[in-house]
Copies of this chain bind each other. A is one copy, B any other.
Amino acid sequence: MSITVVGSVAYDSIETPAGRRDRCLGGAATYFSLAASFFTDVRVIAVVGEDFGPEQEAVFAARNIDTRGIERAAGKSFFWEGSYLDNLNEAKTHNTELNVFAAFEPKIPAAYRDSQFLFLANIDPVLQRRVRETMPDVKLVAGDTMNYWIKDHRPALLEVLKGLDVLLINDTEARMLAGDNNLVRAARAVMAMGPRALIVKHGEYGATLFHGAGPKGGSAERTFRAPAMPLDEVVDPTGAGDSFAGGFFGYLASQPQLTPGVFRRAMFYGSVMGSFAVERFGTERLQQLSRQEIDGRFNLFRELTHLD
């Protein structure tokens, strides 16, 4: 079944210990779409500027991603500049230019309305909510957010959380949102805000799925942990979390039934897509990827934690 995703399509200038790239195609919706496109049909809602040309369009077209919901506006596309020189786990932002994104009013093409899966990538929660409300009948809604919205736009974010089935955030965001440093208690508090399931991403240590509060002192019954593969070279961490989300949600949308086993495999596919994304700059690796490579790595991940 198809996924509709709303989020940023942008240009990124990135510096890492492996080198530098200027104005490469980026944005949460871009990484998400590319990752999810290996599993199911994807439709994007975003806004870009006049600097978004045939070359960028071709990246989406090559993966059969529906871009009819990408609006062209006068001006420049969203631009982000950051580096990971001291710490590959955390970007240092040098510059953010919202540009056409500042006045973004998501418009959902009629052709998108039968999507059964909706992903609200990290954007202003007011916009996330608006999109959510125009697609009330979807089967599953997942979303992402970040420290900025958690700190300074909490009431709007809380409204979004009420309408989510699955929230995907990282450790720091989960602890900040709940106001609790203990991850299990934080997960319980976040789920009480609305989401039926919470995925906490741990960067190079994988990710944990919480679904339902476990009994005190033993949460494993309602918890699943997917590993990340130890990699001997991380070229560029940008988009790892969005690629995780795309692999996770793309796999879910490709399955006839959402059983606990499907959710577990989806966590592994999320980790797999995140691990590919960081191997080269920007979206380079996701553009040069095959389903065969994906399933090969899925089997390596299984082996990585398999007991018998």
Docked complex Cα distance between A88 and B184 (Å):
14
Docked complex Cα distance between A22 and B202 (Å):
34
Selected from B208, B303, B308, the residue in CB contact (under 8 A) with A261 is B308
Docked complex Cα distance between A82 and B44 (Å):
53
Q: A217 touching B205 by the CB < 8 A rule?
A: no
Q: Is A220 an interface residue (CB 8 A)?
A: yes
Residue of B nearest to A208 (CB): B230
> Hey, which chain B residues are within 8 Å of A224, CB to CB?
304-305
> Hey, which chain B residues are within 8 Å of A234, CB to CB?
182
Q: Is A63 an interface residue (CB 8 A)?
A: no
> Hey, which chain B residues are within 8 Å of A223, CB to CB?
229-230, 304
Residues of A within 8 A of B (CB): 88, 181-185, 187-188, 202, 204-206, 208, 210, 214, 216-221, 223-227, 229-234, 261, 264-265, 268, 279, 297, 300-308
Q: B182 touching A227 by the CB < 8 A rule?
A: no
> Hey, which chain B residues are within 8 Å of A88, CB to CB?
181
Docked complex Cα distance between A223 and B306 (Å):
11
Copies in the complex: 2
Q: B302 touching A307 by the CB < 8 A rule?
A: yes
Beyond A206-B205, A307-B264, A308-B261, whether A233 also contacts B220 by CB under 8 A is no
Instruction: Please give the distance in Å from A304's CB to the nearest CB on chain B.
Output: 5
Q: A184 touching B232 by the CB < 8 A rule?
A: yes
Residue of B nearest to A203 (CB): B205
Instruction: Please give the distance in Å from A262's CB to the nearest CB on chain B.
Output: 11
Docked complex Cα distance between A229 and B223 (Å):
9
Beyond A204-B183, A227-B225, A232-B182, whether A307 also contacts B261 by CB under 8 A is yes
Q: Apart from A225-B305, A268-B307, what 7 extra A-B contacts exist at CB < 8 Å?
A: A184-B231, A205-B206, A217-B233, A220-B230, A220-B297, A220-B300, A265-B307
The 4 closest A-B pairs by CB, nearest first: A205-B205, A184-B232, A220-B300, A305-B305
Q: A303 touching B229 by the CB < 8 A rule?
A: no
Q: B227 touching A227 by the CB < 8 A rule?
A: yes
Instruction: Please give the distance in Å from A259's CB to the nearest CB on chain B.
Output: 11
Selected from B217, B225, B229, the residue in CB contact (under 8 A) with A231 is B217
Selected from B219, B232, B279, B308, the residue in CB contact (under 8 A) with A230 is B219
Residue of B nearest to A86 (CB): B181
Q: A219 touching B232 by the CB < 8 A rule?
A: yes
